[in-house]
Amino acid sequence: MSSTTATRSDALITLDGVSTSFPGSTGEELRVLQDIALELREGEIVALLGRSGSGKSTLLRTIAGLIAPTSGSVRYRGRELDGANPGAAMVFQSFALMPWLTVQDNVELGLAARGVAAAERRERALAAIDLIGLDGFESAYPRELSGGMRQRVGFARALVLEPDLLLMDEPFSALDVLTAENLRTELMSLWTGRRFPTRSVCIVTHNIEEAVLLADRVVVLEANPGRIRAEVAVDLTRPRDRATPAFTALVDRLYDLLTGRGSDVVGAGTGEVTPTARPLPAASVGGLAGLVELVHSGGGRADLPELAAGLSFEVDDLLPLVDAAAMLDLLEVSGADLHLTGTGRAFTTADIQESKRIFAAQAVTRAPLVRTVHRALSAAADGSLRVGFFLDLLQRGFSAEDARRQIDTAIDWGRYGELFDFDTDTGLLTLDPAP
């Protein structure tokens, strides 16, 4: 199958205005996807890239027909889906194999569900097992296989159906680095060698380099709710070399998009922005201060992927801390590079009281919710207000759960900066007169 992006007439899947909501624990509506417009076309690999909460997996399951959208339409080859997508097969992160079945039986499972005769099932399963490099393991059980081999079974089980569209939900994230790299390379060899028995691939990932290595087009999703921020074409020949300037430039561009850098981003300015338009990242003071200290220890600069690898975390895990430090102008972010600002250097090298003063000044001017709470308490006759007042306002733009997380983060930041305090027993926020 060629990896050249096809024309719009070759659309396999078309999503128009797709939004998806689920009921929250307290009865409120939780919007997971909002106004998604997307086409998946023949002859291309599309990566859905986004951080946690961007609805990547929900979008993939919507394409598979496993989740019906709340509004909008999903069409396969021009026909509206009213159930499972007949032209799609999925590969899951968790392998999802039946432990009591052999490799061959697992691969035959989907064919059996479609009523394919036993002889044809066996022939097609053995061909798929051979294609994916598992020849000789037909009678093995999943417990006898390594993680990489179990995921190969997952690929064989999907490919044996010869689907128009192969959907993959972070299929390499449960594997060690070398196994994942080997499997990615083999799959790309099959794709470019025209041996791949499917017309298109859509992969969910939060790994930026993986997206650039695999995809012809990267769809970057924003979070809460999930919506498309940008689509980026990857016009690089295969196999792709991480060391080339073109590869590095694409990775940096995607980092900029994923971390939200630009005129509309967290920390991009000190103008009056509402707390719902610029939410507080889910980061404690200790967490973001630790990140700033690590960048300072590295000479004032750090490579985000290298930093995450050194801490044995995913980049996705560090992004809220990066967002928080950038919001407060303690770090600047350029692609995958973190740079310590002058304010950040002063914050991380000062004594505890001076660090608190710097933090308070940055939070009250650059963190909208902290600023709003501080202003409201300053205007209150006795310098105190019930936390429910702020929760009610926040729930106009957030779910109840997210509103609670926002106010909890604001309280953490406000307490550290000695801007205000919170009494759990009374539910009162009280202005700290010290500043």
Instruction: Please report, as a single letter, which amino acid is at residue 274.
Output: T
Question: Are residues 36 and 131 located together in one domain of the fold?
Answer: yes
Query: In this structure, what token pair is assigned to residue 154?
Result: 């997952």
Query: In this structure, what token pair is assigned to residue 339?
Result: 């740079």
Residue 200 lies in a domain: yes
- What confidence score (pLDDT) does residue 7 get? 41
Could you tell me if 133 and 186 are in contact, meaning their C-beta atoms sit under 8 angstroms apart? yes
How big is the CA angle at 383 (ends 378 and 388), to the nearest 5 degrees? 95
Query: In this structure, what token pair is assigned to residue 319?
Result: 């992004």
- What confidence score (pLDDT) does residue 1 get? 40
Could you tell me if 46 and 95 are in contact, meaning their C-beta atoms sit under 8 angstroms apart? no
Instruction: Residue 52: name the closest of 323, 404, 291, 239 by CA.
Output: 323
Burial class of 157 by CB neighbour count within 10 A (0 to 12, 13 to 18, 19+): buried
Residue that is written with structure tokens 């809460």 in the block: 224
Question: For 292-330, b where at least 16 C-beta lie within 10 A, e where not — what string?
Answer: bebbbeeeeebebbebbeeeeebbbebbbbbbbbbbbbb
Query: What are the DSSP E strand ranges found in 311-427?
Result: 331-334, 337-340, 384-386, 420-423
Question: Are residues 243 and 292 located together in one domain of the fold?
Answer: no
Instruction: Residue 29: name the closest of 282, 406, 407, 402 by CA.
Output: 402
| Contacts within 8 Å (CB) and 24+ apart, 21-30 | 21/70, 24/399, 24/400, 24/401, 25/400, 25/401, 26/400, 26/401, 28/395, 28/399, 28/400, 29/399, 30/399, 30/401
User: CA–CA distance from 350 to each of 166, 277, 300, 339 (Å)?
Assistant: 54, 32, 15, 18
Domain boundary among the residues 242, 258, 274 is at: 258
Residue 269 lies in a domain: no
Q: pLDDT digit of tens for each residue in the chain (435 aa)?
A: 433 444 445 789 999 999 998 876 556 677 889 999 999 999 999 999 988 778 899 999 999 999 999 999 999 999 999 889 999 998 888 778 888 989 999 999 888 888 888 899 899 999 888 888 888 888 899 899 888 888 889 888 888 888 999 999 988 887 777 888 888 888 888 888 877 788 999 999 988 889 999 999 999 998 878 899 999 999 999 888 888 999 989 988 998 888 765 433 333 343 467 888 788 998 999 999 999 999 999 999 999 888 988 888 888 888 899 999 999 999 999 888 899 999 999 999 999 999 999 999 999 999 999 999 999 999 998 999 999 999 988 887 777 888 899 999 999 999 999 999 999 999 999 998 665
Question: Are residues 115 and 249 located together in one domain of the fold?
Answer: yes
Could you tell me if 213 and 180 are in contact, meaning their C-beta atoms sit under 8 angstroms apart? no
The pTM of this model reads 0.75
Question: Are residues 73 and 128 located together in one domain of the fold?
Answer: yes
- Rounded to whole angstroms, the maximal C-alpha distance in the chain is 83
Query: In this structure, what token pair is assigned to residue 5?
Result: 């992006």
- What confidence score (pLDDT) does residue 25 get? 58
What CATH number should be reported for the domain holding residue 410? 1.10.10.10
Report how many domains make up the chain.
2
Task: Determine the Cα–Cα distance for residues 63 and 54; give it in Å rounded to an integer.
Answer: 15
Residue 273 lies in a domain: no
Instruction: Residue 156: name the closest of 196, 116, 117, 114 by CA.
Output: 196
Question: Are residues 108 and 170 located together in one domain of the fold?
Answer: yes
- What confidence score (pLDDT) does residue 5 get? 40
Question: Are residues 100 and 49 located together in one domain of the fold?
Answer: yes
Strand order in the sheet with 79-80: 29-41, 11-23, 71-76, 79-80
Strand order in the sheet with 45-49: 88-91, 165-169, 200-205, 45-49, 217-222, 227-233
Residue 265 lies in a domain: no
Question: Are residues 302 and 417 located together in one domain of the fold?
Answer: yes
Question: Are residues 48 and 172 located together in one domain of the fold?
Answer: yes
Question: Are residues 246 and 292 located together in one domain of the fold?
Answer: no
Question: Are residues 87 and 195 located together in one domain of the fold?
Answer: yes
What CATH number should be reported for the domain holding residue 233? 3.40.50.300
> Which residues constitute the domain of residue 373?
285-431
Task: Determine the Cα–Cα distance for residues 366 and 415; give it in Å rounded to an integer.
Answer: 16
Residue 278 lies in a domain: no
Question: Are residues 190 and 337 located together in one domain of the fold?
Answer: no
- What confidence score (pLDDT) does residue 54 get? 85
Q: What is the DSSP string of 179-223?
A: HHHHHHHHHHHHHHTT--S-SEEEEEES-HHHHHHH-SEEEEEET
Question: Are residues 235 and 326 located together in one domain of the fold?
Answer: no
User: CA–CA distance from 163 to each of 66, 108, 293 (Å)?
Assistant: 16, 14, 50
Containing 391, the helix (H) or strand (E) segment is: helix 387-394
Q: What is the DSSP string of 20-85?
A: EEEE-TTS-EEEEEEEEEEEEETT-EEEEE--TTS-HHHHHHHHTTSS--SEEEEEETTEE-SSS-
Residue 279 lies in a domain: no
Residue 272 lies in a domain: no
**Dihedrals φ, ψ of 61, to 5°?**
-70, -25
CA atoms within 13 A on the CB side of 47: 24
Residue 264 lies in a domain: no
Would you say how long the chain is, in residues? Answer: 435
Task: Determine the Cα–Cα distance for residues 235 and 5; give it in Å rounded to an integer.
Answer: 10
